[in-house]
């Protein structure tokens, strides 16, 4: 996460930017990085569902 004070917002306030990386599915034809279905279905046991994503707490 990075705080950016120079972005133009109205009213002027600091903005925090976040970039997320995921593991691509590889070089498979028609491969997709995500599985279709309900959110958090495949979370590991040490993870919880947070905003529809698996998160380690």
Do the domain assignments include residue 16? yes
Q: Is the pTM of this model over 0.95?
A: no
pLDDT digits (tens, 9 = 90+) for 15-30: 777 776 666 556 667 7
Instruction: Compute the distance between CA of residue 28 and CA of residue 55 in angstroms, rounded to an integer.
Output: 27
Do the domain assignments include residue 11? yes
C-alpha angle with apex 16: 14 to 22, nearest 5 degrees? 170
Please state the domain count of the chain: 1
pLDDT at 23: 60
Distances from the Cα of 38 to the Cαs of 2, 31, 53, in angstroms? 31, 19, 10
Do the domain assignments include residue 33? no
Residue holding tokens 């996460």? Answer: 1
Do the domain assignments include residue 23? yes
Range of the domain at 13: 1-27
- Which residues lie closer than 8 Å to 26 by C-beta, 6 or more apart? none
Token pair listed for 3 = 């705080």
Has residue 9 got a pLDDT over 60?
Answer: yes
Do the domain assignments include residue 3? yes
Tell me the percentage of the chain whose pLDDT exceeds 90. Answer: 21
Q: How confident is the model at residue 57 (pLDDT cuts 50, 70, 90)?
A: confident
């Amino acid at each position: 996460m990075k705080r950016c004070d120079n972005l133009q917002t109205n009213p002027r306030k600091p903005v925090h930017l976040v970039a997320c990386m995921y593991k691509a599915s590889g070089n498979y034809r028609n491969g997709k990085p995500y599985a279709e279905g309900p959110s958090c279905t495949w979370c590991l046991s040490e993870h919880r569902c947070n905003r529809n994503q698996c998160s380690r707490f």
